[in-house]
Structure 1
Amino acid sequence: MKKALSGALLVTAVAAHAQDTVKIGISEPLTGAVAASGNYVTEGAKIAAEVINKKGGVLGKPLELVIEDNKSNPREAVNSVEKLILRDKVPVLMGAWSSTYTLAVMPKLEEYGVPMVVETASSGKITAAGNPWIFRTSPTSEMEAKAFATLVDSYSPAIKKVDFLSVNNDWGLGAAAEFKKMFESKGIAVGRMETMTADATDLSAQLATLKGTGSDTLIVTSGIEQLTLAIRQASEQNLPQRVITTGGSFPELLLKAPAAKGYASQHLLFFAPWAVEKAKHPEVAKEFMDGWKAKGLDFAGQTEGFRGYDGILAIAEGIRLAGKAEPEAIRQALWKVSIPGVNGDIAFSKVGPEGKESGQATPNVYVVELKDGEPSVK
């Protein structure tokens, strides 16, 4: 009887704890090929939860982030989401960084009826698939290409012919397709389109192939690790093309250990911490940056970390508007979210098949040049 009573008390205690917090599940690549980005996003999410909890939490309760490592792998991403939903009973999720990982978990969101805020993935397939449990704060590759289209004519020397070097997955191939379409619409020639595996640690063969194409610009799409590698090896090979990276990742390692002297690269980002005054809501950006600094994290990591911060802000507001931490109520409430974020305004428009639309926010895009370890915002 005593043992049974003890077990009952334990169950009661666990249930009470669950009721004392509002859970948010997070699936990010904390290990593996793109771990740097996943860890930065997760840190941003933690800072957002801390800021919200200091202000009283949501529905009178503190937020509790339940974090799973998807190990930079789509199968593990699915496993992590199932754990969060079935074991941890989270009513809402944020994830899963990569388009490939996010597309892999989307059927599970429909199967179990749990909404997810997508903070990074950019493939157009995600919001076009007809999954009403998806709400994306990051831009699609199409949106990013259209934003860059407004800047193309300002380049000197002019952009006349471009090559591509893209990670061989849904994100990289999707980005290349959208930027190719944009350049061709502006009468700019497209040359070679090279790819790399997500775990490649030497890009010298691809860069050697691109060296003699006669293009003036190389568009590179991948995570922090491969962007750093591509730019360093391009500078070593004296690649003649200007390098422009897409997707919002920044090769932060080049701040402390720059590429060859005088070599410049440009990066399309969605938050530029070097010019916080250019943010649409500087006060929100500063609150995030203060939390980042307090943790002693790498300054440049904020270009990724803000994604987690804005994602949690959106989810917390959705829970507040729902009035309860239940999946369907949160899904309905996310359509009503309208708040300032680090990147800009967070609100969702409907995208996809009628009756099964996904939510898509409209973020801002910045161009940052990196030369001799010094960034400058264009």
Structure 2
Amino acid sequence: MMISRRTTLAALAFSLLAGTAMAADTIKIGVNEPLTGAFAASGTYVVNGAKIAADEINAKGGVLGKKIELVIEDNKSNPTEAASVAEKLITSDKVPVLMGSWGSSLTLATMPKLEEYQVPMLVETSSSGKITTSGNPFIFRISPPSSVEADAFEPIAKKLGLKKVDFLVINNDWGRGAAADFSKMLKANGVEVGLTETMDQSAQDMSAQLSKLKASDADTIMVTSAVDQLTLLFKQMAALGLKKRVITTGGSQNPDQIIAQAGPAADNTMHLTTFLPWWPEKTPNPEATAYFLGEWKKRGFEFAGATESFRGYDGIRTVAAAIAAGGGTDPASIQKGFWKVDMVGLNGPIKFAKSGPAGKESGQSKPNVYLIEITDGKVKQVQLGG
């Protein structure tokens, strides 16, 4: 019995050592996303897109001869939790690079941790201008900041003939930043800016704000919020008989999900987005788009999630490209590698330009921006942004 016990213990020890060796033979990528809380649906889509990219990369041999391993953590849609998750991924899980953190407030909360530990992060969704202008050299973003989105919308705004615009935005860095950047662009083009109403990210009843907007003489309302809250808004607008032009910003609207949840209340609403899954042939990388959408469908995910999940897919592909370009698996090599990335994502070229104060620049890529409209329960493309 003693021999048998020793043999069992030896086998267990060997198994643990083998497991450790196997783990060391992978390149860990920390994924910091909201999997519960107000932004859970969006964060889950991003994570599922990231998994498709990781599987594709590993099937092709990985990066630098190693497989990549996603270490996924839930930031619970909470900035404090997002910062704690970033620290855990860096100090406990020993990841040399991260992707995150969906919302701007979540990403801004993690940024001091990146500087403290000198670990780079790929930002796949957040749009607050502060993310790339505050002087954090460990930030590399593939989603457009609201200023870039506003600039891309400028020629579209002229064609739409906007006269006066009100804003209804989520009361955080993302929403307030969008209102500020779009207001600046509109005023520069002779468009009057009226009310700016805010709402908490968990708010269910926006009737007070909507009543003010209905009484305003603005012809257009620009809205910045996540998909579930947008669904509630459109239903409440319909109930109030508010029939002004509505344009949402931020590229996180999930038009198909809105159609499914809001029904006819979503008709005639317009949405700025950065990906066209409805027309793969019109995307900058049709072959990659077709593969991604095919894999998304094969895994049984709803098509509606594609407008969010592609961010995770492009994000992990960009991180892998940075690791390869940097030639090493340590944070400093990967940080340098990001500046060498030059690829075509599902929504346009991914190549980082410097943004922010000299010597501490962040990296910002510039994706395509599109305006789509929901008409009779279907998505149609309206304009391509600049």
Give the TM-score normalised by the residue count of structure 1: 0.95
The answer to whether residue 264 in structure 2 is matched with residue 260 in structure 1 is yes
Residue pairs, 1:180-259, within 5 angstroms: 180-250=183-253, 251-259=255-263
Aligned to 1:125: 130
User: Whole-Å Cα distance in 2 between the matches of residues 314 and 257 of structure 1?
Assistant: 33
Of residues 10, 17, 22, the one that matches 2:22 is: 17
Q: Which amino acid aligns with 2:183?
A: K
Q: How many angstroms does 1:38 deviate by?
A: 0.6
Whether contact under 8 Å (2:29, 2:98) holds in the other structure is yes
Q: Which amino acid aligns with 1:356?
A: K
Of residues 311, 319, 323, the one that matches 2:323 is: 319
User: Whole-Å Cα distance in 2 between the matches of residues 257 and 85 of structure 1?
Assistant: 38
Aligned to 1:134: 139
The answer to whether residue 281 in structure 2 is matched with residue 277 in structure 1 is yes
Aligned to 1:76: 81
User: Whole-Å Cα distance in 2 between the matches of residues 10 and 114 of structure 1?
Assistant: 31
User: Whole-Å Cα distance in 2 between the matches of residues 262 and 77 of structure 1?
Assistant: 32
Secondary structure of the corresponding residue to residue 165 of structure 2? strand
Secondary structure of the corresponding residue to residue 264 of structure 1? coil
Secondary structure of the corresponding residue to residue 279 of structure 2? helix
Whether contact under 8 Å (1:231, 1:243) holds in the other structure is no
The answer to whether residue 367 in structure 2 is matched with residue 367 in structure 1 is no
Whether contact under 8 Å (1:235, 1:259) holds in the other structure is no
The answer to whether residue 381 in structure 2 is matched with residue 377 in structure 1 is yes
Alignment deviations for residues 89-146 of structure 1 (CA, whole Å, 9 cap, x no partner): 1111000011111111101011111110000111111111111111001111000000
Q: How many angstroms does 1:10 deviate by?
A: 5.8
The answer to whether residue 308 in structure 2 is matched with residue 304 in structure 1 is yes
Aligned to 1:331: 335
- Structure 1 pair 21–305 and aligned structure 2 pair: CA distance change class (3 A): same
Secondary structure of the corresponding residue to residue 273 of structure 1? coil
Secondary structure of the corresponding residue to residue 252 of structure 1? helix
Instruction: Extract unaligned runs of 5+ from structure 1.
Output: none
Q: How many angstroms does 1:262 deviate by?
A: 8.4
Whether contact under 8 Å (2:274, 2:368) holds in the other structure is yes
Identity of aligned residues (%): 54
How many residues end up aligned between the 2 structures? 376
Of residues 346, 354, 360, the one that matches 1:356 is: 360
User: Whole-Å Cα distance in 2 between the matches of residues 4 and 103 of structure 1?
Assistant: 47
Q: Which amino acid aligns with 1:304?
A: E
Q: How many angstroms does 1:261 deviate by?
A: 6.4
- Structure 1 pair 320–208 and aligned structure 2 pair: CA distance change class (3 A): same
Q: Which moved more, 1:54-63 or 1:108-117?
A: 54-63
User: Whole-Å Cα distance in 1 between the matches of residues 145 and 15 of structure 2?
Assistant: 46
User: Whole-Å Cα distance in 2 between the matches of residues 93 and 200 of structure 1?
Assistant: 30
Secondary structure of the corresponding residue to residue 269 of structure 2? strand
The answer to whether residue 123 in structure 2 is matched with residue 113 in structure 1 is no
Alignment deviations for residues 290-319 of structure 1 (CA, whole Å, 9 cap, x no partner): 111111211121111111111101100111
- Structure 1 pair 174–289 and aligned structure 2 pair: CA distance change class (3 A): same
Q: Which moved more, 1:75-84 or 1:135-144?
A: 75-84
User: Whole-Å Cα distance in 2 between the matches of residues 89 and 167 of structure 1?
Assistant: 34
Cα RMSD, aligned residues only:
1.8
Give the TM-score normalised by the residue count of structure 2: 0.93
Secondary structure of the corresponding residue to residue 114 of structure 1? coil
User: Whole-Å Cα distance in 2 between the matches of residues 243 and 261 of structure 1?
Assistant: 12
User: Whole-Å Cα distance in 2 between the matches of residues 111 and 4 of structure 1?
Assistant: 41
Of residues 144, 149, 152, the one that matches 2:149 is: 144
Q: How many angstroms does 1:345 deviate by?
A: 0.8
User: Whole-Å Cα distance in 2 between the matches of residues 7 and 261 of structure 1?
Assistant: 60
Secondary structure of the corresponding residue to residue 242 of structure 2? coil
Q: Which amino acid aligns with 1:124?
A: G
Whether contact under 8 Å (1:257, 1:373) holds in the other structure is no
User: Whole-Å Cα distance in 2 between the matches of residues 289 and 4 of structure 1?
Assistant: 47
Aligned to 2:103: 98
Q: Which amino acid aligns with 2:33?
A: E
Q: How many angstroms does 1:20 deviate by?
A: 2.3
Whether contact under 8 Å (1:216, 1:240) holds in the other structure is no
User: Whole-Å Cα distance in 2 between the matches of residues 247 and 262 of structure 1?
Assistant: 17
Of residues 80, 87, 92, the one that matches 1:87 is: 92
Instruction: Extract unaligned runs of 5+ from structure 2.
Output: none
Whether contact under 8 Å (1:75, 1:104) holds in the other structure is yes
Q: Which amino acid aligns with 1:19?
A: A
Q: How many angstroms does 1:324 deviate by?
A: 2.1
User: Whole-Å Cα distance in 2 between the matches of residues 260 and 301 of structure 1?
Assistant: 20
Q: Which amino acid aligns with 1:241?
A: K
User: Whole-Å Cα distance in 2 between the matches of residues 214 and 223 of structure 1?
Assistant: 26
Whether contact under 8 Å (1:261, 1:372) holds in the other structure is no
